[in-house]
Amino acid sequence: MKLFTDSGYLNVPEIIGAGYTFNIILSGRGVGKTFGFLKWLREQAAADQGRFGYLRRLQTQIDICGKAEFNPFKRLDSVYHMTTTVKSISKYSSGFYDGDLKLLGYGLALSTFGSLRGFDGSDITSILFEECIPKAGEHRLKEEASMLWDAYETINRNRELEGQPATRLYCIGNSNNTAADLLVDMGLVSRVERMKEKGIPIYQDRKRSLQLIVLGS
């Protein structure tokens, strides 16, 4: 797998094209994780290939993303001369729109996902969980991994039983906290540490449909 493009940024289409349901991509800043994934998700949604879920750990983070100055698509819009607007859908959710009309995806928070009574995420084909690894000093959620899997199951529901592919989950974050609840829950702590120590960037487990990418510290 070619992890980086010729321009030096993360090769997101290559990572997605590997076809894994669960993907964890950990690295330092500046490799283009967020930009690359948001670009791909927006293109898919604009082409009617499925809406996305943009997931953050805390509701305050999603609330901030609803402001124009902190819109996660701000840089992407500037580079590609597009307009992605954010509108509130409910107290705990927002929508990302192409201009003001076409709904592309949803802004959701792990901390309040359980409060979204009756939420129907059947139109979500991919979830981007940004900053999936808590920063030092950042508020941690109790049973955070369990909350993530509950949210995933709520969105994915019975897609496979209905002959549809499972919703893809892309967790992106910093690689400096190997004790994060997500990695502990998935039994990946020692593997991440070994990958960092030995400079092994990719681990793939077809049985679990899991792809783990660790780049630097």
Q: How confident is the model at residue 217 (pLDDT cuts 50, 70, 90)?
A: low
163 versus 92: which is more confidently predicted? 92
pLDDT of residue 161: 78
SS3 106: strand
Q: How confident is the model at residue 31 (pLDDT cuts 50, 70, 90)?
A: confident
Whether the Cβ atoms of residue 67 and residue 59 lie closer than 8 Å to each other: no
Q: Tokens at residue 4, please?
A: 């980086």
- CA 102/CA 204 separation, integer angstroms: 36
- What percent of the chain lies above the pLDDT cut of 70? 99
- What percent of the chain lies above the pLDDT cut of 90? 76
pLDDT of residue 177: 81
Q: How confident is the model at residue 168 (pLDDT cuts 50, 70, 90)?
A: very high
Burial track 150-161 (b if 16+ CB lie within 10 A, e otherwise)? ebbeebbeeeee
Instruction: Tell me the longest C-alpha to C-alpha distance in the chain.
Output: 48
211 versus 157: which is more confidently predicted? 211
Q: Tokens at residue 72, please?
A: 């996660």
Whether the Cβ atoms of residue 71 and residue 83 lie closer than 8 Å to each other: no
Say if residue 192's pLDDT is above 60. Answer: yes
Q: What is the arithmetic mean of pLDDT over 202-206?
A: 97
Say if residue 119's pLDDT is above 90. Answer: no
Q: What is the arithmetic mean of pLDDT over 148-177?
A: 90
Say if residue 157's pLDDT is above 70. Answer: yes
Say if residue 49's pLDDT is above 80. Answer: yes
Q: What is the arithmetic mean of pLDDT over 59-66?
A: 95
Q: CA geometry: angle at 83 spanning 79 and 87, to 5°? A: 135
Q: What is the pTM of this model?
A: 0.95
Q: What is the arithmetic mean of pLDDT over 82-90?
A: 95
Say if residue 175's pLDDT is above 90. Answer: no
Mean pLDDT of the chain: 92
Whether the Cβ atoms of residue 174 and residue 28 lie closer than 8 Å to each other: yes
Whether the Cβ atoms of residue 173 and residue 211 lie closer than 8 Å to each other: no
pLDDT of residue 160: 79
Among 43-52, 113-122, 180-189, the minimum mean pLDDT is found in: 113-122
